[in-house]
Homo-oligomer: A and B are copies of this chain.
Amino acid sequence: MRYIAEDIEVRAREELFINIHPIQPAGRLTPEAMKALIAYGDGYSTCDWCVKPFRLDKIRRPPIYEFHSDLAEFLGMDEARVVPGARRGFQAVVSSIAGPGDSVIVSSLAHYTEFLAVEDAGAVVKEVPLNEKNVITGENVAKKIEEVRRETGKLPKLILIDHFDYMFGNEHDIKGIAKVAKEYGIPFLCNAAYSVGVMPVNGREIGADFLVGSGHKSFASPAPSGILATTKEWADRVLRTTQMVGDVTKRRFGIKEVEMLGCTLMGSNLIAMMASFPAVRERVKRWPEELEKTNYFLREFLRIKGNAILSEMPRKHTLTKVDTSKSFDLVARRHKRRGFFLGDELRKRRIIGEFLGATRAWKLNTYGLTWDQIKYLAQAFQEIAREYGIEVE
């Protein structure tokens, strides 16, 4: 084992293994992003050419300003900001729109960061039930809005629903939800942490008032990094500039945005996002092939007797929840390494990223694997199955 400093080991999982970790593959850096990290790693590296009006997203060397406009256009929105993670985007929107006594509609598969953003604002989450396919529909959102109105006497202040959820990677009916949101006049934040950066996403076509993306999850960028995009209509509220005046000095800080806490995502993380952007623009066009590969893999995976898929099929995302409780888990129960046997076997074959020790319901993500790697991965699971006496059709 090699170490960087004291007891920090060198990480080379992406270089040495096929990584099927549920949240890591689409955040793997491009070579350009790695070069950006090296060139812009030092602290305030983005401030070399900061001139009036002294706000990060206005800097033109490197072309941070241009990146912001290109990003807004790419997402079909009017304004875009980069933030330290999708969660900071939720926080900015929720705290601008909801407060104590208010309700925010979320999914029954809402990510915990959505709960926390609502709690931080003093508001309360109201979950929309899933339909029989584990999908959130516009119809169920409408029902929930009515329920909240009956119970609290007020409409919810915000609808915050995931484009694809973290649990099944299922696609939710965001266009239907946007329509319902418009009918009720409630703003809609579409959490696109699993979609912006891997597939084409257009906020205007969706009808979303806010679009939030994740750099480290889906935009080939280092953590923390995220995107908050919005429309002209909402920019004034969520991207409002400071009004505070010092009582003694009478100081004001001009165009600094309150929810952004002034300058947005800085340093090498920002420049890495910018450096990955050209590749990201191209890769979203190849999403259909990513789905072909993942569906191919899962068909092969299902040839292992007892294996099941818990996500909707055919897959519309490369993140999938699988169920191996009637296959690999039967082995795990009598194996001295218990559930870890599967990871051991995968590792022997240079595959990592399985949920440590899990052999019942667990998640995997095939994003970015080549066809050769996909086939190798399918064969590896079948080979392990056979080795442990599980039938492969």
A residues contacting B by CB (< 8 A) are 4-14, 21, 23-24, 26-29, 32-49, 51, 61-63, 66, 84-85, 87-88, 91, 95, 106, 108, 110, 112-113, 115-120, 124-129, 215-217, 220-224, 242-244, 246-249, 251, 253, 256, 258-259, 261-262, 265-269, 271-272, 274-278, 356
Taking CB atoms, residues of chain B closer than 8 Å to A44 are 21, 23-24, 27, 216-217, 223
What's the nearest-Cβ distance from chain B to residue A104, in Å?
A: 10
Q: Which of B120, B253, B272 contacts A259 (CB 8 A)?
A: B120
A51 interface neighbour in B37, B87, B269, B356, Cβ under 8 Å: B356
Query: A23 contacts B48, CB within 8 Å?
Result: no
Query: Given the known A-B contacts A27-B42, A223-B43, are A253 and B35 also in contact in the complex, defined by CB atoms under 8 Å?
Result: no
Inter-chain contacts of A14 with B (CB < 8 A): 42
Q: In the complex, given contacts A10-B35, A84-B265, A222-B268, what are 20 additional A-B residue pairs having Cβ atoms less than 8 angstroms apart?
A: A5-B32, A5-B35, A5-B274, A5-B276, A8-B63, A10-B39, A11-B42, A21-B47, A24-B43, A24-B44, A37-B222, A43-B222, A95-B120, A112-B253, A120-B258, A120-B259, A216-B267, A223-B268, A223-B269, A224-B267
A36 in complex: contacting residue of B5, B28, B118, CB < 8 Å: B5
Contact assessment for B244 and A119 in the assembled complex, using a CB-CB cutoff below 8 Å: yes
Query: Which of B4, B11, B223, B268 has a CB less than 8 Å from the CB of A48?
Result: B11
Which among A43, A112, A127 has the highest number of chain B CB atoms within 10 Å? Answer: A43
**Which chain B residues border A29 with CB–CB below 8 Å?**
41-43
Q: How far is the CB of A129 from chain B (nearest CB, A)?
A: 5
